[in-house]
Structure 1
Amino acid sequence: MTENEQLLARVSAKAHITRPWGWPSLPEPADASTLARAETTLGFSLPPLLADLYLRIGDGGFGPEYGLLPLLDSPPAGEPAAVVQYLANRESARRDPDWPWPECVLPISHWGCAMYACVDCRTPQAPVLLFEPNADHAWYVDAPSLTAWLSSWVDGTGWYEETNEELDMIPWTDFHIRTTAARAS
């Protein structure tokens, strides 16, 4: 069994016994046509591990805090789906250049207070970034890869755990070169 297969098995096991806020049950996995529609709408592909989460475990409803957002349909808690949130953020960035949204950075989980965990879908390791508009820097590296982010959730070692509140995240330095505003100047 590969490392990704082992991680997917661990995530699936935890996903089946825990419920994030607002999710009464684990949704069925997304089907291939939902993934294809999401990628067509986004204009980019999801990293393979992220696609496997949606296709093999559930269309959202698992993971830290409020859990993974579904791809296209709104979750029970009323948050927008990942694709809808990405498109809204990109549109908002066009209207307000002070809040640009990086290309190919997909929100995957809402933390509350306008904070999102996002996957950089352009980078092979699929780093997970924290969008934190209430802090000095709006963008931080939450985990160097989606694999590390999922492992920290399964292991209970993420920054959001009560025992780890003192962990500091480093600012995401690629933010300025990855935004529409930076490309236009």
Structure 2
Amino acid sequence: MTEIEQLLTRVADKARNTRPWGWTSLPEPLDEATLARAEAVLGFRLPPLLADLYLQIGDGGFGPEYGLLPLLDSPPAGEPAAVTQYLANRESTRKNPDWPWPEEVLPISHWGCAMYACVDCREPQAPVLLFEPNADDAEHAWYVDAPSLTDWLGAWVDGRGWYEETNEEAEMAPWADFRIRTAATRAS
């Protein structure tokens, strides 16, 4: 069994036994056609591990705090789907270029207070970023939560995330690539 397969097994075990706030059950996994439809709407592919979470474990409803957002379709009474939130954030960029949303940075989990955990789908390691819009400006609203989706999931499974009571003092580094990734958006 590969390291990724072991991680998926551990995530699936925890997903079956814990419910994030607001979720009463674990949604069914997506089928390949729904994943393909989501990627077509987004205009980019999901990192393989993120796709596997949705295809093998469930369409959201597991993970830290409020859990992963559903990918394409919103639950009956909950957060918008990740695709819907991404498109809204990109549209917001056109209306307010001082707060650009980087291309291919998909919000996957809501933390409350308009904060999101996001996966940088452009990078091979799929770093997880924290968007904290309560900052004074957009450049200071982005942090590196984990260098990879693998690390982020491992922290959740092992209880090592910054959101755990035992780790409240954890500091996150600012996302150094924000300016580079949004330069084209700001120039237009």
**Same fold (TM > 0.5):** yes
**Distance in 2 of aligned mates of 1:134 and 1:142:** 16
Partner of 2:107: 107
Match of 1:37 in 2: 37
Cα distance, 1:184 vs. partner?
Answer: 2.5
Name the residue aligned to 1:157. 160
The aligned amino acid for 1:142 is D
SS in 2 for 1:178: helix
Cα contact 2:97–2:185 (8 A) shared by 1: no
- Superposed CA deviations along residues 111-167 of structure 1, whole A, max 9, x for unmatched, are 000000000000000000000011351000000000000000000000000110000
Give the secondary-structure state (helix, strand or coil) at the position aligned to 2:110. strand
Say if 1:102 and 1:180, in contact at 8 Å, map to a contact too: no
Q: Which runs of 4+ in 1 moved over 3 A?
A: 180-183
Task: Between 42-51 and 129-138, report the one with greater CA deviation.
Answer: 129-138
Render the CA deviation track for 1:40-76: whole Å, top value 9, x for unaligned.
0000000000000000000000000000001111135
Contact 1:100 1:181 in 2 (8 A): no
**Contact 1:23 1:77 (8 Å CA) reproduced:** no
In structure 1, the residue matched to 2:66 is: 66
Post-superposition Cα deviations, 1:79-122, rounded to whole Å, max 9, x if no partner, equal 11000000000000110011100000000000000000000000
Matched, 1:4 2:4: yes
Show the counterpart of 1:142: 145
| Pair 86,180 (structure 1): closer, same or farther in 2 beyond 3 Å | farther
Equivalent residue pairs, number: 185
Supply the RMSD in Å over aligned alpha carbons.
Answer: 1.2
Which range moves more in the overlay, 146-155 or 173-182? 173-182
Identical-pair percentage: 83
Aligned to 2:89: 89
CA contact (8 A) 2:97 2:186 kept: no
> What CA distance in whole angstroms lies between the structure 2 residues aligned with 1:76 and 1:66?
15
Equivalences for residues 5-24 of structure 1 within 5 A: 5-24=5-24
The alignment's TM-score, normalised by the length of structure 1, stands at 0.97
